[in-house]
Amino acid sequence: MNDPQPIDALIIGGGFYGAAIAVYLARQRGLRHIVLVEREAALMQRASFNNQARVHNGYHYPRSFTTAYRSRVNLPRFVSDWPAIIKQDFTKLYAIARRNSKVTARQFERFCRDIGAPIQPASLALRGLFEPRLIEAVFEVQEFAFDSSKLAQWAEQALRECEVQVRCQTQVTALHRGSEGGIEAVLRQADGGESRLHCRYAFNCTYSGLNQLGGEFPGIQAQLKQEITEIPLLQMPATLNSLGITLMDGPFFSMMPFPAKGLHSLSHVRYTPHLHWQDEPGRNPYDKLQHYPRQSRVEHMLRDVERYIPAVRGARYVESLFEVKTVLVMNESNDARPILFEKHAHLPGSYSVLGGKIDNIYDVLEKLDAEPFTRPD
């Protein structure tokens, strides 16, 4: 079965980036016929939900000034564009460890001043939550969380208003050059049925699945590392419930409010990654995740956190989010999180997009602003 007429743009992947690009193409670039294809039963069910739900303000990246500065630039715009999804009613702390940290308290404070990020010493009461023999300094900063469920609701409403056709439980398996120009996509439905769709432009926003398209799709040039990660969700004791805490900057951890569930997430540099491998075509990351045993490491995480914050002993473990995390290999050493934006000359009209953080969306849209999209009259 083939779609009867060509479409302007095909968006492959219904995460936040896919939805935001579809809305941008409709509202800002005037494309009228857009189809968004998502393999899950609903939008934003994978990496867009299964993450720490942090809106960065630069603090997390003292070893990548560019990433930190872009976060500072993007955060106010993100909060302004999506105010309904932002959680601000908590106090965010960054603590600097006395040992094994890659940044000292003085260096961290100077770095924050350099990027213009608000920072001040934490109160005596807040510093009292930490084990002083292990912590050099504690700072109060300005960093927010976002509600993934509300963001998915925004995506559904905005796509509907833009008349974007959304096809869930559908996969794009291959892209080919169209016989009369453009791109021909092969779609597979959940029941195994296949169809073909002709489009002028195709946007590969599949995150961990960027290299899993067949046909004449050339794959991306950048090397990717895939990780199976675990983020436990916890009910915090009263003393910690209104706080977000990040311990910098080495084999440490971060606890953030997770608004979609009314809990806190916990990530740990040592224990959150369970398994990793170099990405390559034909090695489907989602298949590996599906067959992974998912044995939680939350006890190891909590034992380490308790050394620094004794009150976390009162936390109650609820569940864990397991997901595939995709990282550009070239940025592993410095923690940078730039976007990947590749325009595939071998298959004209096709693009691949990967963002490491939710606020990177503006970097993607700036790239798209420079593209000369055309549409039929």
Instruction: Give pLDDT, residue 351.
Output: 98
Residue 4 pLDDT > 70, yes or no?
A: no
Q: By percentage, how much of the chain surpasses pLDDT 90?
A: 89
pLDDT digits over 185-232, tens only?
999 999 999 999 999 999 999 999 999 999 999 999 999 999 999 999
pLDDT digits 0-9 by tens, 111-165: 999 999 999 999 999 999 999 999 999 999 999 999 999 999 999 999 999 999 9
What was the pLDDT predicted at 126? 98
- Tell me the mean pLDDT in the region 274-297: 95
pLDDT at position 250: 81
H or E element that contains 174: strand 170-177
pLDDT at 289 over 80: yes
The predicted structure's pLDDT at residue 336 = 58
Q: Mean of the per-residue pLDDT values for the chain? A: 94
Residue 356: per-residue pLDDT: 81
> What average pLDDT score do residues 160-187 get?
96
Q: Which of 20-34, 60-74, 124-138, 192-206 bottoms out in mean pLDDT, i.e. has the lowest? A: 60-74
Alpha-carbon distance 232 to 296, whole Å? Answer: 8
Q: What is the pLDDT of residue 326?
A: 95
Residue pLDDT, tens place only, 308-346:
999 999 999 999 999 999 999 876 555 656 789 999 999
| CB contact set of 256 (below 8 Å; sequence gap of 6+) | 52, 53, 54, 145, 244, 264, 265
Per residue in 85-106, pLDDT (tens digit) is 999 999 999 999 999 999 999 9
Q: What percent of the chain has pLDDT over 70?
A: 96
pLDDT of amino acid 331: 63
Structure tokens at 133: 């023999």
pLDDT band at residue 110, thresholds of 50, 70 and 90?
very high
What is the distance, to the nearest Å, from the Cα of residue 353 to the centroid of all Cα atoms in its chain? Answer: 12
Which residue type, as a one-letter code, is found at position 246? T
Q: What is d(CA 252, CA 305) in angstroms, rounded to the nearest whole number?
A: 8
Residue 376 in this model has a pLDDT that exceeds 70? no
Phi, psi of 23 (to 5 degrees): -65, -40
